[in-house]
């Protein structure tokens, strides 16, 4: 097997087996075993933590897709959340991260970020890259001031690390990710001026690179990566508060340019959390709330590949929040199945992403 393009040798991964077979065995390991397997020897650790290993698992169809959801914590649960911050005499909502595995319908929490043990920054966004989960920005849960914090969770090590901070403060921005970068764009600054600027974060190198600006400001926009391009959908400018646009801007990382696409979103509708991508001959953007009346309000969804999604929401304002597993079929809505959720994870969802391990 050719190994010259890699930073380490795959030889004798498993004594007595050919190199190709040893590598095939390790790429088939369930992700839950990676933490233990990485401690077998330095060579296994280097392999399991590498970009090449993640790429091989994806290419060979062995990657595992998990839904990660930022949800309101149940104050009566034993999640270790202390006194919640108060503002105006009211108890503020505190948020944590839950992981849902559709293969066995299991739920489990991710440990709190050490800097925010009582709950994540409010309105933070999450994205995934190279099998890692990244928490981006938000508001400090005590002061309600915007933060530039970045936190990266490694599923192999089962621990957080703090990444390089965002270059500038912004709230309610769009986020998307490809195989090696996380993109942020739009939102608004500390003075509530809508932004047209955008940045890309390289998780492995822990560095930010500024992108060219979009053609217009896009506050409260939503992001998604389609076919390797970063789409920033809808949003509004400083002088048009709440007037959500029907267009999108699309960033191509090869040409380093944006192009504008008209009429891809319902004018006047907020896209945050509810933006979904359907395959109907060509890809179509629509709200996850269109799938069923049970998730019409407070909708938040995340696709687990092209054929399955987890969608949360309620049928009406102040209605019971539910979670559903959706089978996506080309040209039609597939099976819509309610998910049984432990009480400590059933709070409203603020942000979600799919992590492919």
What pLDDT does residue 103 have?
A: 85
Expressed in angstroms, the distance from the first to the final Cα of the chain is 24
Provide the edge-to-edge strand list for the sheet that holds 106-109.
Answer: 106-109, 95-101, 65-72, 349-356
In sign, the C-alpha dihedral spanning 58, 229, 287, 329 is negative
**What are the residues facing 225 on neighbouring strands?**
230
Q: Give the DSSP letter of residue 294.
A: G
Distance between CA atoms of residues 357 and 347, nearest Å: 25
Taking 70 as the pLDDT cut, the residues of the chain under it are: 1-11, 75-92, 279-282, 330-334
Residue whose C-alpha is closest to residue 40's, from 16, 18, 13: 13
What pLDDT does residue 29 have?
A: 77
Torsion region of 21: left, alpha or beta (phi above 0 gives left; psi -120 to 50 gives alpha): alpha
Contact (CB, 8 A) for 228 and 208: no
What pLDDT does residue 307 have?
A: 82
What pLDDT does residue 291 have?
A: 86
Radius of gyration of the chain, Cα coordinates, nearest whole angstrom: 21
What pLDDT does residue 7 have?
A: 44
What pLDDT does residue 213 have?
A: 97
Exposure class string for 174-194: b at 16+ Cβ within 10 A, else e: bbbbeeebbbbbbbbbeeeeb
Distance between CA atoms of residues 198 and 276, nearest Å: 22
Distance between CA atoms of residues 179 and 129, nearest Å: 6
Tokens 């009582």 correspond to what residue? 118
User: Within 10 Å of residue 295's Cβ, how many Cβ atoms?
Assistant: 26
Distance between CA atoms of residues 115 and 126, nearest Å: 16
Q: Global pTM?
A: 0.84
């Amino acid at each position: 097997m050719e190994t010259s393009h890699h930073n380490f040798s795959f030889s004798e991964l498993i004594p007595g087996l050919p190199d190709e077979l040893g590598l095939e065995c390790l790429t088939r390991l369930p992700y839950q075993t990676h933490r233990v397997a990485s401690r077998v020897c330095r060579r296994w650790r280097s392999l399991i933590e590498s970009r090449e290993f993640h790429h091989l698992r994806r290419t060979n169809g062995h990657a595992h897709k998990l839904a990660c959801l930022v949800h309101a914590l149940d104050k009566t649960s034993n999640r270790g959340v202390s006194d919640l911050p108060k503002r105006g005499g009211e108890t503020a909502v505190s948020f944590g991260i839950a992981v849902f595995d559709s293969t066995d319908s299991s739920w489990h929490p991710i440990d709190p970020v050490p800097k925010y043990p009582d709950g994540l920054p409010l309105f933070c966004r999450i994205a995934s890259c190279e099998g890692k989960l990244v928490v981006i920005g938000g508001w400090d849960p005590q002061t309600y001031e915007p933060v530039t914090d970045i936190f990266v969770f490694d599923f192999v090590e089962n621990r957080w690390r703090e990444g390089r901070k965002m270059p500038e403060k912004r709230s309610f921005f769009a986020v998307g990710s490809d195989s090696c970068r996380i993109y942020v764009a739009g939102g608004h600054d500390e003075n509530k001026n809508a932004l047209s600027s955008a940045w890309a974060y390289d998780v492995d190198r822990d560095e930010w690179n500024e992108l060219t600006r979009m053609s217009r400001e896009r506050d409260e926009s939503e992001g998604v990566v389609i076919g390797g391009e970063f789409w920033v959908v809808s949003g509004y400018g400083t002088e048009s508060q709440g007037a959500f646009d029907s267009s999108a801007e699309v960033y191509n990382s090869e040409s380093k340019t944006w192009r504008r696409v008209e009429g891809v979103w319902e004018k006047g509708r907020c896209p945050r959390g509810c933006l979904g991508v359907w395959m109907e001959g060509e890809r179509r953007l629509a709200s996850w709330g269109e799938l069923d009346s049970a998730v019409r309000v407070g909708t938040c969804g995340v696709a687990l590949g092209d054929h399955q999604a987890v969608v949360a929401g309620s049928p009406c304002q102040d209605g019971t929040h539910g979670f559903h597993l959706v089978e996506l079929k080309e040209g039609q809505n597939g099976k819509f199945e309610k998910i049984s959720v432990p009480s400590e994870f059933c709070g409203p969802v603020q942000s979600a992403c799919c992590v492919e391990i």
